[in-house]
Chain A
Amino acid sequence: MELSFDAELDAVRQEVRTFLKENWLSGAQEGESPKAREKRFRQLATDRGYLYRNVPRRYGGSEQEPDALKAEIIREEFAKARAPTEFAIGPGFSLLTPTLLEWGTEWQKEKFIPPSLRGEIVWCQGYSEPNAGSDLASLRTRAELVGDEWVVNGQKIWTSQAYRADYIFVLVRTEPDAPKHQGISYLLMDMKQPGITVRPLKQATGKADFAEVFFDNAKTPADWIVGERGQGWTAARSTLRHERTSIRGLNFQEARFRDLLRLAKETMVDGRPAIEHPDLRQRLAMVEGYVASMRYSAYRQFSMELVGQDPGLFPSLRKLYSSNISSEMVKIARDLLDDDLLLMPEEIRGESVGRHKWVHTYFTSLILAIAGGSSNIQRNIIAERGLGLPRDRVEA
């Protein structure tokens, strides 16, 4: 019997709690600015092996054995204590760092990874284009090698953090005559140059969290390419594989479910809390079935991957499963909000607050169903990679 996680998880949890109690919930030094304190704490937490676990020590990480369940406990406890975790503005740590670790040259790793982990440089991602969304490999932004520089022309879209990023990692077409997947290269570029223009893009929520990025003879040195010419697609895909080893979506959905239970307790219907109504209890229990299924399936997936076993179908299902759970949860919230749905939420420092924040969540929960491969693209992936159905002509 190897369903043995409870006791070990408890021990890890206790250890992390003690660390947080001693180093974050207390232990502030007199005269230290909040920023300096966060910096000092991040370093302590990294030294203890809690942060930047997948990054070698020589690049500023903590170089821990992969253990997704342990990593999840750490994240949970850090979140409860509101302690700083990995520097998360932009995809520098989450997407670029694993790609550089696998594909980058030594100088690229040394130059870019440490300051990205410290938050000293912020990255944005240049993948999607106006005519290359689900069909990303048809992208047309082109780069030509002129002397010792790449010259880039074209346009990217849906670029989060573009207005504040120092650098961009971008997929460009460098081999126009090669088949579409083999003509793409992965370049790193400085955003602060005359050839790059950023135009904010207002979203359905009214905010402008992402932007269009225009390249007009923008330049980057010849050796700022990650992997070889024409390997960009493979390098970018391997990043998505790294993404799978994160369990973050799971933690996120469980936290949202607890929030939903709180909303159901606080909302009064016919003179008593909504959560006491049998029909709502049915709906909540139905969602809990999905949330718990996702949790134990993720535990199983990560346990199997750690010992080199094939977890089968579930990895290809996870994103769509999670999107669907969000969709069910916001439908329940919608019915609890009732006429509060008619008002946009108040914001404090850019964060929606109060029960109206669910109006915001109703919209933003769609991001998961769209970004990083829409739900119908996920169904294609499940059909092809999960169920082994013959390839669709258009998926070739």
Chain B
Amino acid sequence: MKFLLSEEQVSIQDTIQQVVEGVLGGRGIHEIIDGKREKEAELWRELGALGVLGAIIPEEHGGQGLGLLELALISEVLGYAAAPGPFVGHVMATLAIALGGDAAQKSRWLPKLASGEVIASVAFGEAGGKWLPDQWSLAAGAALTGTKTHVIGGMDAGLLVVGLAGGGLGLVETSAPGVNREALPATDSTRPIAKVTFEGAPYTALPEGAAAANRVVDAGLTLLAADAFGAGRRCVDMAVEYSKQREQFGQVLAQFQAMRHQLANMALEIEPCRGLYWFAAYAWDTKDEGARHAAALAKAHITDRALQISRDNTEAHGGIGFTWEYDAHIFMKRGMFNYAWLGGAPLHRARVADLAGW
């Protein structure tokens, strides 16, 4: 009986970590939040070249045929680095086409999405915190008319998978007439978001979209949970490192029991989350009957705990932690995105209760 990663899975994490560090190393992430986005594009090209973007696409369409678990492991690494880019949106859109598209849609788009040549995203959110298929109200007639919001990477995407009233999915090219995009002032500048307004925009429906939509959402929830776990782990590491260097009252902070206990409490909240996201991804891959529940639980619990730990990390640093130049605020904002995108913890805890049959 085993509940552990294979050597291949461990080495995927190591490889991606090296690539991310190679691109972003030093103050790369600060360049991005200050608006210089060359390194974001470079990282995207690297991830495409490594096959990460197409990891879950079947091999016949230029992907690697790996599972959500592998993608979640990658997501953890990206979270640890606060790596920029619309990874989660791109993967969700890719999955939507792979699971819900017809043969022509798959062969037209999947190879380009696998290489990263075309950036795709999901336009699921609607005003008022409506994220889920049974909440969508964008009417799908002959063309699309209505508004979607909080679209990750929306300004960069060439292709959008749009959630439609009734829970189905439509495919829209952003270059098409009637697609208007507006960048939003995003909290997390590592993952900018946009509002997309459709005014009679042409689209094609994904024939199996309605059946795929919940699976796509569950995958997204799991990837956010994994990103949050990585970011939370980074916050613990940052606080631990700082406590070993910073001296006050003639000794390093790590020697003060009050600080040691704060750091222990932070680790306590984050470390056990690892198994929770592993299981959610495993359950998704094996189509376990508890998969929906596991995804909701992982998303609610881990993003909630990680956001709190990013706050504790900032506090543990004192004044330096509250400066723009320091990394701590980047992880608080990363944490906020993970918490709020696709719905906050209260939404998903309510679903956990429903799905558990309480």
Contacts and interface: CB of A to CB of B under 8 A. Distances in A.
Task: Determine if chain A interacts with chain B.
Answer: yes
Interface of A: 1-6, 8-9, 67, 69-70, 261, 264-265, 275, 278, 281-282, 284-286, 288-290, 292-300, 302-304, 306-307, 309, 312-314, 317, 320-321, 324, 376, 378-380, 382-384, 386-390, 392-393
A294 to B, nearest CB: 6
14 contacts: A1-B6, A1-B9, A2-B6, A70-B1, A264-B358, A281-B353, A290-B301, A292-B276, A292-B279, A296-B3, A296-B276, A376-B261, A379-B265, A383-B263
Contacts of A313: 267, 271
B213 interface: no
A389 B254 contact: yes
A303 B1 contact: yes
B190 interface: no
Interface string B110-141: 00000000000000000000000000000000
B272 A309 contact: no
Contacts of B67: 1
Top-5 shortest CB links A-B: A296-B275, A289-B301, A285-B349, A281-B353, A299-B3
Given A299-B3, A320-B264, A393-B255, 4 more contacts: A5-B3, A303-B2, A314-B271, A389-B255
B331 interface: no
Contacts of A389: 240, 243-244, 254-255, 260, 263
Contact of A9 (B1, B69, B356): B1
Given A284-B353, A286-B349, A321-B272, A386 B257 contact: no
Given A3-B3, A281-B349, A303-B2, A383 B279 contact: no
A22 to B, nearest CB: 24
Given A290-B301, A293-B275, A293-B301, A67 B267 contact: no
Contact of A320 (B1, B268, B285, B304): B268
A387 B358 contact: no
Interface string B294-327: 1001001110110000000000000000000000
Contacts of A314: 271-272
Nearest to A294: B272
Contact of B252 (A2, A284, A387, A390): A390
Contact of A382 (B9, B268, B285): B268
Contacts, number: 166
B41 interface: no
Contact of B4 (A2, A292, A378, A393): A2
B349 A309 contact: no
A299 B5 CA distance: 12
B210 interface: no
A288 B357 CA distance: 13
Contact of B261 (A8, A265, A379): A379
A321 B267 CA distance: 11
B264 A297 contact: no
A289 B1 contact: no
A38 B291 CA distance: 41
Which of A261, A265, A379 gathers the greatest number of chain B CB atoms within 10 Å?
A379
Interface residues of B, number: 50
Interface string B54-96: 0000000000000101000000000000000000000000000
Nearest to A295: B275
Contacts of A70: 1
Contact of B264 (A9, A67, A383): A383
B346 A282 contact: yes
B349 A387 contact: no
Given A380-B257, A383-B261, A8 B275 contact: no
B273 interface: yes
A376 to B, nearest CB: 7
The interface residues of chain B, by DSSP majority, are classed as helix
A380 B257 CA distance: 8
Nearest to A8: B1
Given A289-B276, A300-B274, A382-B267, A281 B2 contact: no
Interface string B2-39: 11111001000000000000000000000000000000
A389 to B, nearest CB: 4
B300 A285 contact: yes
B265 A284 contact: no
Nearest to A394: B257
B268 A284 contact: no
A282 B272 contact: no
A312 B252 CA distance: 24
Contacts of B44: none
A388 B263 CA distance: 11
A252 to B, nearest CB: 16
B151 interface: no
Contacts of B203: none
B297 A289 contact: yes
A321 B301 CA distance: 15
Contacts of A379: 260-261, 264-265
Given A296-B3, A297-B274, A383 B352 contact: no
Contact of B1 (A67, A376, A392): A67
Nearest to A376: B261
Contact of A285 (B3, B9, B297): B297
Nearest to B3: A299
B339 interface: no
Nearest to A307: B4
Given A2-B6, A383-B261, A282 B349 contact: yes
A8 B301 CA distance: 28
B353 to A, nearest CB: 4
A265 B357 CA distance: 12
Contacts of B267: 313, 317, 382, 386-387
A314 B271 CA distance: 7
Interface centre among B5, B271, B272 (most CB of A within 10 A): B272
A387 B3 contact: no
Kindly name the residue among A1, A70, A298 whose own CB sees the greatest number of chain B CB atoms within 10 A.
A1
Interface in B245-272: 252, 254-255, 257, 260-261, 263-265, 267-268, 271-272
